[in-house]
């Protein structure tokens, strides 16, 4: 299947969403959008996807809108007073997520608890967790990682959006490479490392990993913060900046060149 058209169209929607409310975290969402497209393509109806890097909520809302789980009218309420679609996902704002996300380092441990509950209930459904490489700095991440292995959570799949940037620095300068493959392998995860923007290959890898039935799984996905918009790519400031009108049109132009299917 060719996902390029979806990747481009959802990026256009995402940019328009952010531009209309003058909001930031654009590059954070562009970094993980392709991972979300792949996850929602692979997950079965009752499986959960937890966006632990909640500051990229707009990317999640965009994929849910694309899938028909969020209506066009509701999608337009993003960031506005009274909306269910706040800048970071709030509790019960969308299907099956009964807790708020955005305080980094919490989606993963909560997801481990849900995966363990599924196993205790003899329910084989997977829990997928998408977290940032910045979140692998958090202490809670390491406790949860050991918990996942000790409880043999073979129904757990974690994707790390490894764009190597945080809000105010490079990940390597903040705490070293806490998303390194060998670290996670040594704990007991089944780990693969791959391009986090190739949706076809992500879909194949997620499906293959699901067949491997003894360990919790991890995909270290190498990504580019701001992917698709040239002037945002790998630029620290686009963690927080909103776009003005000129920047918005320039961003759309970039997509036309980079996703010319
Ligand atoms: C516990 C916690 N501390 C601080 C923040 C503020 N914060 C929001 S995003 C961010 C860093 C983002 O870097 P990363 O987690 O790697 O995300 P990405 O680069 O993928 O957007 C920080 C420190 C937060 N949301 N939660």
- Check residue 124 and give its pLDDT: 86
Written as six digits, the tokens of 170 are 């490079």
- Check residue 93 and give its pLDDT: 80
The confidence band for 191, taking pLDDT boundaries of 50, 70 and 90, is: very high
In degrees, to the nearest 5, what angle opens at C-alpha 78 toward C-alphas 86 and 158?
55
- Check residue 96 and give its pLDDT: 62
| pLDDT single digits (tens) 243-255 | 999 999 999 999 9
- Check residue 260 and give its pLDDT: 84
Task: Quote the ligand 1 centre to 58 CA distance (angstroms).
Answer: 15
Task: Quote the ligand 1 centre to 27 CA distance (angstroms).
Answer: 12
Virtual CA dihedral for 99, 15, 220, 42, nearest 10 degrees? 70
Virtual CA dihedral for 95, 101, 102, 104, nearest 10 degrees? -130
- Check residue 261 and give its pLDDT: 66
pLDDT of 1 above 80? no
Q: Which of the pair, 2 or 245, is modelled with greater confidence?
A: 245
How far is C-alpha 181 from the chain's CA centre? Answer: 18
Pocket of ligand 1 (CB under 6 A): 28, 31, 53, 55, 102-105, 132-135, 161, 163, 165-167, 225
The confidence band for 214, taking pLDDT boundaries of 50, 70 and 90, is: confident
- Check residue 102 and give its pLDDT: 93
| pLDDT single digits (tens) 26-64 | 999 999 999 999 999 999 999 999 999 999 999 999 999
Task: Quote the ligand 1 centre to 70 CA distance (angstroms).
Answer: 25
Task: Work out the mean pLDDT of the chain and round it to a whole number.
Answer: 95
Which atom of ligand 1 is nearest the CA belonging to 225? 19
| pLDDT single digits (tens) 154-176 | 999 999 999 999 999 999 999 99
CA distance readout (Å), 7 to 38, 46, 63, 69, 149: 10, 24, 10, 18, 34
* Among protein residues, the one whose CA lies closest to atom 10 of ligand 1: 167
Written as six digits, the tokens of 73 are 């009218």
Task: Quote the ligand 1 centre to 214 CA distance (angstroms).
Answer: 31
pLDDT of 234 above 90? yes
pLDDT of 19 above 70? yes
Which atom of ligand 1 is nearest the CA belonging to 135? 15
| pLDDT single digits (tens) 86-139 | 999 998 887 667 789 999 999 999 999 999 999 999 998 999 999 999 999 999
Kindly report the pTM of this predicted structure. 0.97
Q: CA 205 to CA 245: how far, in whole Å?
A: 39
Least confident of 203-207, 223-227, 257-261: 257-261
Task: Give me the mean pLDDT over the 198-216 stretch.
Answer: 94
Site to probe by mutation for ligand 1, drawn from 55, 137, 222, 237 as the one with most ligand atoms within 8 Å of Cβ, is: 55
- DSSP state letters, the chain: ---HHHHHHHHHHHHHHHHHHT---HHHHHHHHHHHHHHHHH--TT-EEEESSGGGHHHHHHHHHHTTSS-HHHHTTTTSTT-SS-SSPPTTSSTT--S---STT-HHHHHHHHHHHHHHTT----EEEEEETGGGGSHHHHHHHHHHHHTT-TTEEEEEEE-SB-SSSBHHHHH--TT-HHHHHHHT-EEEEEETT-HHHHHHHHHHHHT--SS-EEEEEE--TTTT-GGGTT-GGGGTPPP-HHHHHHHHHHHHHHT--
């Amino acid at each position: 299947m060719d996902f390029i058209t979806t990747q481009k169209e959802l990026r256009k929607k995402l940019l328009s969403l952010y531009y209309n409310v003058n909001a930031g975290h654009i590059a954070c969402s562009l970094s993980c959008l392709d991972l979300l497209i792949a996850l929602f393509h692979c997950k079965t109806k009752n499986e959960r996807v937890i966006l632990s890097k909640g500051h990229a909520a707009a990317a999640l809302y965009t994929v849910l809108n694309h899938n028909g789980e969020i209506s066009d009218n509701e999608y337009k309420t993003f960031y506005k007073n009274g909306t269910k679609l706040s800048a970071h996902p709030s509790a019960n704002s969308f299907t099956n997520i009964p807790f708020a996300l955005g305080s980094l380092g919490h989606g993963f441990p909560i997801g481990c608890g849900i995966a363990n509950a599924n196993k205790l209930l003899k329910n084989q459904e997977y829990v997928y967790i998408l977290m940032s490489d910045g979140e692998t700095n958090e202490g809670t991440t390491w406790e949860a990682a050991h918990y996942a292995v000790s409880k043999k959570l073979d129904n757990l799949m974690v994707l790390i959006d490894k764009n190597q940037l945080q809000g105010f620095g490079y990940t390597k300068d903040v705490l070293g490479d806490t998303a390194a493959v060998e670290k996670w392998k040594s704990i007991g995860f089944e780990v693969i490392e791959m391009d986090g923007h190739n949706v076809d290959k992500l879909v194949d890898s997620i499906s293959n990993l699901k067949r491997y039935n003894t360990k919790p799984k991890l995909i270290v996905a190498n990504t580019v913060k701001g992917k698709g918009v040239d002037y945002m790519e790998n630029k620290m400031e686009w963690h927080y900046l909103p776009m003005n009108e000129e920047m918005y049109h320039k961003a759309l132009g970039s997509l036309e060149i980079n996703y010319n299917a």
